[in-house]
Amino acid sequence: MGSPIPYLLDTNVVLFATRQNSPVSAAVDRQFGLRDSPFRPAISEVTVAELLAFAESWGEKRRELLKGIIGELLVIPISRPEVHRQWAKLYSHAKAKGLAIQQDHNDVWIAATANVSGLRLISSDAAAFLPLRGTSWLEVDVIDPKTGALVP
């Protein structure tokens, strides 16, 4: 077994964890060993805002679950100048190449946060992140949103 990898979780991955008995969340835990890792999984502070927006329409029980999940994760701020510069570079690159990620500024923030923090992203957003796989922009594992299996 290889060395543990520090991960940044995309918003959609955390959302799976707020769904009771989510097979996708269970698959992510099994594949990536997040609970057993010496590294605390991280999220961008942009993800916190997105999650809170989703939670506005939820019941109290699920909101409390989300609060607990966020409390277990390392929240990485986007206020660092390095993150700002990476966001600008990645957005300009995506716009010039016509990449889907340019349409969602929050995804650009999340990718920039992962890059600058030296973290590998886990996401189910193939359209936004697969085009960046294997580039210097982002280390990413994309999962199938229905099964949690890795997308080749």
The domains of the chain, with CATH numbers, are 7-142 (3.40.50.1010)
Q: Which residues contact 92 (CB under 8 A, 6 or more apart)?
A: none
Contact of 17 with 73, CB cutoff 8 Å: no
The pTM of this model reads 0.95
Query: pLDDT grade, residue 2 (50/70/90)?
Result: low
CA 51 from centroid of its chain's CA atoms:
12
Residue 130 binned pLDDT confidence (cut-offs 50, 70, 90): very high
